[in-house]
Chains A and B, each alone.
Chain A
Amino acid sequence: MVTEIKQVKQVLTSGIKPIWCAGCGDFGVQAALVKALTDLGIDRSNVVLVSGIGCSSAMPHPFSTYGVHSLHGRLLPVASGLKLANDDLTVIGTGGDGDGYGIGVGHLIHTARRNIDMTYIVMNNEIYGLTTGQASPTSFIGAKTKSTPFGDIENPLNPIALALSAGATYVARAFSGDPMHMAEMIKNGIQHKGFAIIDVFSPCVTFNNVNTYDWYRPRVYKLEQAGHDSSDISKAMEKALETDKTKWEKIPIGLFYKTQKPVYSEMDITLKNGPLIKQPDPDKTKINSILEEYL
C-alpha cells in the first residue's frame, strides 16, 4: 500500500519475548519488520500482523500493533477479510513454509490473483519447525527429516515461480542473514500497491542442518546487483527457475518482479465507495427498493 511517510514516533514492541530458539532465522525477520515499520512510520494502531500456526507464526506477539494469530494455513483468508473490511489498514501476513506452501497453498494462489493490497512474508526454513522437524513442501529431495527418515522423494515447490504464475504483483526473496536487505524488501512490499510476497530464507537452527546460514551465505546473490530487469515477467520466471539449473549453487535474492495492476478494492463495486467499515447501514430508501423486487 502506498503510505504517506508520517514518521509516527512509537514503541513497536509489546514486551512479549518471542518463543524462538537462539539463532532462529525468525529473529532476523522480526528485526527487519521492525525496521521497515519504523522507517515507514505507519501508526501502529493501523497495522495488523496476521499469522497462521508454526514457530514463525508467533511473529505478531512481540509487536505492539494489532494482530491475529489464526489457524494453520489460514492467515491469507483472515488477512483478506480484514483488508476487505477496512481498506485503511496496513495488513501484513507472517507465516511459515508449511503454513503457506503446504496446508494453505490454495489460498496463496487465489489471494495473489485477486491482487488484494497486502504484504505476505513467508519464513521458509524448508522444515516444519513447531512440530519438531518433519518435511515441508520446500524440503529438498533426499532431505532426511522426522517424516522422511529415508530421504524426501517429493520435488520441492518453487514459491517464486508459483507466486509469479498466480499473478502476484510484487515477488521478492530475502535471507535472514541479511536483515537490512530484507527490511528494504519488506518496506517496498508494504509500499507496493497490490499483493506483495516475500519468501524469506529463515534458517531453522534446530531441525534443519542442511539449509543453514553457512550453507546460504556463499550461495545467495542480489538480483539488484546482477542487472535483473524486475519489470519483465519472463526474466523473473527465468530467475525463479535458476536454482533448478544451478542445483542451488547460486541462489538469487531480491526483487524478482514488480508490476502495477488494479487492486481488488479499486475493482470491487462495493469498495469503490470507500472502506467497508466506514459505509453506512442501508437506509429506508435502499431497503424499500429491495423489498419492491418481491412484489
Chain B
Amino acid sequence: MSSVTIRIAAANGDGVESSGALLIKVATRNGFQVFGYRGYQSIIRGGHVWYQIRLSDGKLHSHGDGIDILIALNQDAIKNQKSHLNDNAVVIYDPSKTNVTELDSNRYRLTPIPLLDIAVKQSGDPIMRNVAAIGAALGFIGIDIKVFDDVIRKMFGRKGDKVVNDNINVATAGYNSPGVTKAFDIKGDGKQRYSMDGNSAFAFGAYTSGCKFYAAYPMTPASGILQWFAQHQDKGVLFKQTEDEIAAINMAIGAASAGVRAMCGTSGGGFSLMVEGLGLAGMLEVPLVVAESQRTGPSTGLPTKTEQADLLFVMHSSQGEFPRIVMAPRSVEECFYVGKEALNLAERYQCPVVVMLDLFLSEHVESVDGFDFDSIGIDRGKVAAPNPNGGRFKRYELSADGISPRSFPGMPGLEFVSPSDEHNEYGDLVSDALSGIDEHVEMRRKMHSKRMSKIDTMLMNEKCFFPEVSNEGADHFLMTFGSTAQPATEAIGMLNEAGLNVGLITFKYLMPLDQEKTKQILSGKKIIDVECNYTAQLAYVVKANTGMDITDRILKYDGEAITPGEIAMQAADIIKKQK
C-alpha cells in the first residue's frame, strides 16, 4: 500500500477547510481511500490552521506522520510545518507572498506558483488562490483534472455557472503550471466510496435505527452531531437546541420516558453538567444514549484539540450506583454501527449508554465503502401490553433478570409515577417519611439489587464485554481503546515490517467488563498500553478488573492526535526492553 499526504496550511479565513473538503471529494471520486484531519483553533480569523489529507490505494487508519505535499498559503505555514516535511516533499507556495529560504532546495521539491495571480486573473477573487494550489496538487498526484470538473459541478452547481467555471478555470491553471508533473506512484481503484466524519457516522447510524430525538447545547467537538441532527430535522427526527446541557439530558430523559428513542451529546464540560441527569436515567431505568466527545484538559482546556482523559470520569460520574454501558468506537465506520447498537443496548437494559468519542474521531474524515443497514436490527426491549382493567402496574417489578417491562404515557392501565427517589415495584417512594422502616429498608436492598443485577444479565446475554485481539500468537501487544485503535493498527503494520511480531488488543466496550474473560485474554501477553492521557486510565480499568498491572505505556497528552510513527517508534524501544 502506498499513500500521499497533503497538508494545506494557512490562516483562519483563508478557506483551508473548504479546500480540504474539496480535495477529499475529488480524491474519493477518483477511487482513492482518504483520511483527513484538521488542526484548528477557536477563532474565526487569523491564527494558524491546517488540513491534512492522506490518499491511498488501500485502507487507511490515520492521517499519516509526515507531509508529502505542503500547500503553504502564508509564511507561517513554512515556519510551522517544515519540521513535518518528508524528504522530497513538494512545497507549493506563492513567491509573491512567501519565501522559502529556510527550506533546503536539495531536500524538497520547491514549487513556486503565482497562486494569487492565477486566482485574480481567472476569477477576480483572491481567496481562490487555494483552489489554484489544489489544482497543482492534483497534478503532482496525477489525478485527472476532469474529475475535479465533475465534483465542482456537483458541489457548486446550485450556485450558478460563474462559481463553477471560476473554480474550474483557477484549478486548471494551477494544474497546468510549469513544474507541476506527476510525482507519486499511486493510483486509485476507481471504486465509489463515501467520505464521512465520526460525528456524522454516529448520528447517521442512530438515525437509521429510529433515533427520533436529539437534544444538545453546542460544544466542540460534539457540535458535529448537533449539526447533523439540525440539518436532518426535516427527515423525521426532532432536534432541540437547549439552554444548557442540564436541559439537554433531562429533555432526552423526558422524550425517552414518552417512548421515543432519544439521545443527547456534548463534550466533557457539558457532560459535567449532565451528570445528575445520568443518575436520573439510571434510577428511572430510562434508556438513554449520551455521546461524550472528549477534548483536551479540564475546564475549557484546549477546545479544538483531542484527548482520551474522560474515561474514568464517564465510568464513575454521578453519585450512587447504577448499571451503565460505556462504549468507545474505534473508527468512523464503527461510529455508525455503535450509533445503532447503543440504542438497542439502552432499551434492552433500560439504562444509560455513554458513547465515548474524541475530537480526533469526531472530526476526522474517512472514506468508507458503505454500510450494512440491516446487520443490526431494532430491539426495543421489554414493553408491557396495555392492561386497562388490571390493578396498579408494577413498573419496577422485581424480575429475575433485573429488567422490568416498561410502559409509556398513553398506554391505558399501565400508569405509574417514575421516581428519582428510591421506590418500590409500583414506583411509590420508600424515602423521606418511610426510610428506615424495616420493610422499606428491605425494599431498598431488593430494588437496588434488581437494578444492579442487570449488569450480570448484560454480561451473560451480550458476550461482547471484553477486548478484541488481533494476531493472537504475537510476541508483543499494543493495548488501547476507542479512536487510538486506528493509529495503533497502522503502527502494528510498521512494527511488523521492521521484523517485530506485534499484535493488537483493543477495547470497544469499557463498562461493564467480563472480568474472567478479560483476564483470560490478557494473561501471558507482553503488553504496551497506548492511550491519549497522562494517567493511563485504560491500564487503571484493566487493573481494577483483572488485577493485572500494565506498566509499559505510551501516553500522549499534548492535544495533537497520536500518529502511527510515534507509537511504532516508542513501542520499538519498549519492546527491546521487554525481551
Contact = CB atoms under 8 A, between A and B. Distances in A.
A77 B212 contact: no
Contacts of A63: 417
A81 B255 contact: yes
Interface string A48-68: 111001000010110111111
Contacts of B212: 85, 276-277, 279
Contacts of A110: 242-243, 247
Nearest to A66: B409
A85 B260 contact: yes
Contacts of B194: 291, 294-295
Nearest to B415: A66
Interface in B3-52: 28-29
Contacts of A290: 204, 207, 232, 235
Interface stretch (B127-135, B418-426, B528-536): B418-426
A46 interface: yes
B464 interface: no
Contacts of A225: none
Contacts of A294: 194-196, 200
Contacts of A268: 233, 238
B564 interface: no
A22 interface: no
Nearest to A282: B236
Given A45-B413, A45-B415, A77 B242 contact: yes
A44 interface: yes
Given A53-B420, A295-B192, A287 B373 contact: yes
Interface stretch (B141-149, B169-177, B428-436, B538-546): B428-436
B236 A270 contact: yes
Interface centre among A19, A50, A78, A270 (most CB of B within 10 A): A78
B214 to A, nearest CB: 11
Nearest to B264: A81
Interface string B224-259: 000000001111111110111011101111111111
Interface in A249-287: 268-271, 273, 276-277, 279-282, 284, 286-287
Nearest to B279: A71
Given A78-B253, A273-B236, A85 B213 contact: yes
Interface residues of A, number: 62
Interface string A1-27: 000000000000011100100000000
Nearest to A268: B238
B26 to A, nearest CB: 12
B519 to A, nearest CB: 38
Nearest to A265: B238
A46 B254 contact: no
A282 B229 CA distance: 14
A276 B259 CA distance: 10
Contact of A280 (B236, B240, B370): B236
B473 interface: no
B417 A68 contact: yes
A84 B251 contact: yes
Contacts of A68: 254, 257, 284, 417-419
B155 to A, nearest CB: 11
B65 interface: no
B196 A43 contact: no
A86 B417 CA distance: 17
A73 to B, nearest CB: 8
Interface of B: 28-29, 192, 194-196, 200, 204, 207-210, 212-213, 215, 232-240, 242-244, 246-248, 250-260, 262, 276-277, 280, 284, 370-371, 373, 378, 392, 408-421, 427-429, 432-433
13 contacts: A45-B409, A67-B427, A68-B257, A74-B247, A81-B213, A81-B257, A81-B258, A84-B238, A85-B255, A88-B410, A269-B234, A277-B212, A277-B258
